[in-house]
Amino acid sequence: MLTTNPFDDDKLHEECGIFGIWGAEKAASFVALGLHALQHRGQEAAGITSFDGAHFHSHRAMGHVAGNFDRDDVIARLPGRTAIGHVRYSTTGETALRNVQPLFAELSDCGFAVAHNGNISNAMKLRRTLSRRGSIFQSTSDTEVIIHLVATSTQSTPLDRLIDALKQVEGAYSLLVLTEEGLIACRDPLGIRPLVMGKLGEATIFASETVAFDVIGATFIRDIEPGELVVVNDTGIRSFRPFEAAKPRPCIFEHVYFSRPDSVVDGTSVYEVRKNIGAELAREAPVEADIVVPVPDSGVPAALGFSQASGIPFELGIIRSHYVGRTFIQPSQEVRNLGVKLKHNANSALIAGKRVVLIDDSIVRGTTSLKIVQMMRDAGAREVHFRIASPPTKHSCFYGVDTPERAKLLAAQMSVEQMRDYINADSLAFISIDGLYRALGESRDSLQPQRCDACFTGEYPTTLTDAEESASGAALSLVASR
């Protein structure tokens, strides 16, 4: 069986994208468009919850936004001038649909819908405590812990109950919460995951990335700040900062791979940063070659940067198929390396006889890199040099990014030279961590880095309660008997 996945298996994946709007007719139709533009952050399930002034309405589905939320009848069942939505990477098993967000609960005195990008790193501990007191969990999602903390809080208003709940959680969260009293957007004290605020006419909008504003013609206003809660309702917009101040640590990988190149993250063009990384890489690890070839599509901006800085021509040496599918029957042993050919094909007429610099954004397991190098050699490349637009990925992420366990991260197991040998390249180089910060226009503060770069450095900005308990013997699974 040969596999081609819509997402490249051999990448880290952002697990979620969120979008919310207050104050527009047919709010759900804007959310559908916004989620469509955020699917690179999670394309396997989507949901929208709207509030029409009296009732909450939800629709959640496995699959793409188009096909589920481009239908008149679905949008018509989501009436109201405010709505929030969520796309997610992956969820499996019988409880799959239950884990699709927004999660909604009818609390004793209010409805409460939440869409969450991030990961609560003490969710299992909190869940055990809540369960012992009689709370019944319906999903395996860490997000549900927040709802039960709100439901059992002794504070009086929904906002105070939410703050009470968030003070008990640790980890990464950008949240959109919809209640009868308004739409609440908030970002964890370190601002690990992104969240931006925009405006379209009178309506206020929140999204994971600015591309979701472009698709509906909305204007970017500002980032939600780390530790900030913004409450929007018909009386206006109010901002709260209930948490202790902390130095922000936004995720650096948003610039390397997660965000779309046409997004502006933390005030910086993603495309520009990626080109800078390519240029920096050309300076840090130059090579004599005939053509610069991106591994499509994510390697393209860095390859352009590398080409412009080095003067080596940029060429499309690998063609990517528009058509994807899960598995094809493998006809025979003769057909080797077919997985990558279904998705990628060498432009042999171009490659034959050339010295090639391949540019990719990262190496995770290394399986794709291995096949791509071989494909270049089969196409007649004289030399194959691999340049990577990020430092070696050596550590798992506990903040809402789908990472393989450490044992499967190539860079956690091998030196750069061993990796070069493994993927069979003539040379291999990664950008340095300092080079990466330079591409962002910063000089890395090695005591208190300006970003979360734990996947490269192992320097996690929060405690990791569940992971530590798990390492010391406690059960990790949220679902004991399912």
317-346 binders of a second copy (CB under 8 A): 319, 321-332, 334-336, 338, 341-342, 345-346
Catalytic residue check, 16: yes
Catalytic residue among 2, 12, 16, 212: 16
**CB of 418 within 8 A of CB of 392?**
no
* Interatomic CA distance for residues 240 and 227, integer angstroms: 9
Q: Check residue 314 and report its DSSP letter.
A: B
Number of residues lying near a second copy (CB under 8 A): 100
Minimal distance, residue 275 CB to a second copy, in Å: 9
Q: Which amino acid is at 90?
A: S
Candidates 236-244, 282-290, 299-307, 465-473; binding stretch for a second copy (CB under 8 A): 299-307
User: Is 455 marked within a binding site?
Assistant: yes
User: Is 110 marked within a binding site?
Assistant: no
Closer Cβ to a second copy, 178 or 428, answer by number: 178
Closer Cβ to a second copy, 200 or 237, answer by number: 200
Minimal distance, residue 410 CB to a second copy, in Å: 25
Q: Are strands 229-233 and 236-240 parallel, antiparallel or unpaired?
A: antiparallel
User: Is 360 marked within a binding site?
Assistant: yes
Q: Which amino acid is at 290?
A: D
* Interatomic CA distance for residues 419 and 415, integer angstroms: 6
User: Is 186 marked within a binding site?
Assistant: no
Candidates 258-266, 384-392, 418-426, 454-462; binding stretch for a second copy (CB under 8 A): 258-266
CA atoms within 13 A on the CB side of 479: 12
Q: Which amino acid is at 395?
A: H
State yes or no: residue 374 binds a second copy (CB under 8 A): no
Tokens 């509906």 locate to 216
CA atoms within 13 A on the CB side of 447: 0
State yes or no: residue 211 binds a second copy (CB under 8 A): yes
User: Is 142 marked within a binding site?
Assistant: no
Closer Cβ to a second copy, 323 or 473, answer by number: 323
77-96 binders of a second copy (CB under 8 A): 94
Q: Is the dihedral of CA 353, 355, 359, 364 positive or negative?
A: positive
DSSP string, 59-94: EEEES-STTTSS-HHHHHTS-SSEEEEEEES---ST
* Interatomic CA distance for residues 6 and 375, integer angstroms: 20
Minimal distance, residue 459 CB to a second copy, in Å: 30
State yes or no: residue 463 binds a second copy (CB under 8 A): no
What is the set of active-site residues?
16
Binding residues for [4Fe-4S] cluster: 251, 397, 452, 455
Binding residues for Mg(2+): 298, 360-361
